[in-house]
A and B are shown apart, each in its own frame.
Chain A
Amino acid sequence: GQQLNQSPQSMFIQEGEDVSMNCTSSSIFNTWLWYKQDPGEGPVLLIALYKAGELTSNGRLTAQFGITRKDSFLNISASIPSDVGIYFCAGHTGANSKLTFGKGITLSVRP
């Protein structure tokens, strides 16, 4: 089945730094989504991407839908302590398909 690959499992950065996360697949996806999960809570949608090549921003977050439709990246600029959490990528392969999730990257921000 389809898989989304996120690595590394954990990232540690200093407050104020930028960080970039990748999500890759061997399959083509029609939609890419990025979620953030705070400790003890459910994931919350950060950014949704619907077209190959699309670049979308949401505050300090920027995400892109790869031109091959097999990858996406999320960039967080000027990190702050509340950016800590697990970041999941997810995607749809076709109409009415279930979302496929990556295993997530746990981000830690040192003050």
Chain B
Amino acid sequence: DGGITQSPKYLFRKEGQNVTLSCEQNLNHDAMYWYRQDPGQGLRLIYYSQIVNDFQKGDIAEGYSVSREKKESFPLTVTSAQKNPTAFYLCASSHRDYGYTFGSGTRLTVV
């Protein structure tokens, strides 16, 4: 079955550490996206990529970095520069103007 997989489901980070969230899709979608979700704030776009080896900043890119070396993979690194990283992170992929397919999310907590 085709789908989009995020791992891990739960992640704990110490202050000052970088962590990387994984996102893999086997839907053959060209575009991939990372969103951050906080209670009551909806979905905020962090980064997106429409083709391999290219990506653009979204609305809240500061403190995050991404790479797109393969069509199937779009990992997100939350760096120590992100001052308030505790949130629910969602990855999505899409083909042209069709709707996005979302992963099941990663909950990141700073301890």
Which residue of the partner chain A has the closest CB to B45? Answer: A98
Q: Is A21 on the interface with B (CB-CB < 8 A)?
A: no
Q: Is A33 on the interface with B (CB-CB < 8 A)?
A: yes
A40 to B102, CA, bound (A): 12
Chain B contact residues, majority secondary structure: strand
Q: Is A48 on the interface with B (CB-CB < 8 A)?
A: yes
A 62-103 to B, binary, CB cutoff 8 A, 1 in contact else 0: 000000000000000000000000001010100111110111
**Shortest beta-carbon distance, B6 to chain A, in Å?**
8
B40 adjacent to A9 (CB under 8 Å): yes
A102 adjacent to B103 (CB under 8 Å): no
23 interchain pairs (CB within 8 A)?
A: A9-B40, A31-B97, A33-B99, A35-B99, A35-B102, A40-B88, A40-B105, A41-B104, A41-B105, A42-B90, A42-B92, A42-B102, A42-B105, A43-B43, A43-B102, A45-B100, A48-B98, A90-B99, A95-B97, A99-B100, A101-B42, A101-B43, A104-B42
B 86-110 to A, binary, CB cutoff 8 A, 1 in contact else 0: 0010101010111111111101000
Residues of B within 8 A of A92 (CB): 97
Residue from A42, A44, A45, A103 with most neighbouring chain B CB atoms (10 Å): A42
Interface of B with A (CB < 8 Å)? 6, 33, 40-43, 45, 48, 50, 88, 90, 92, 94, 96-105, 107
Within 8 A of B (CB), among A26-54: 30-31, 33, 35, 40-45, 48
Interface of A with B (CB < 8 Å)? 9, 30-31, 33, 35, 40-45, 48, 88, 90, 92, 95-99, 101-104
Chain A contact residues, majority secondary structure: loop
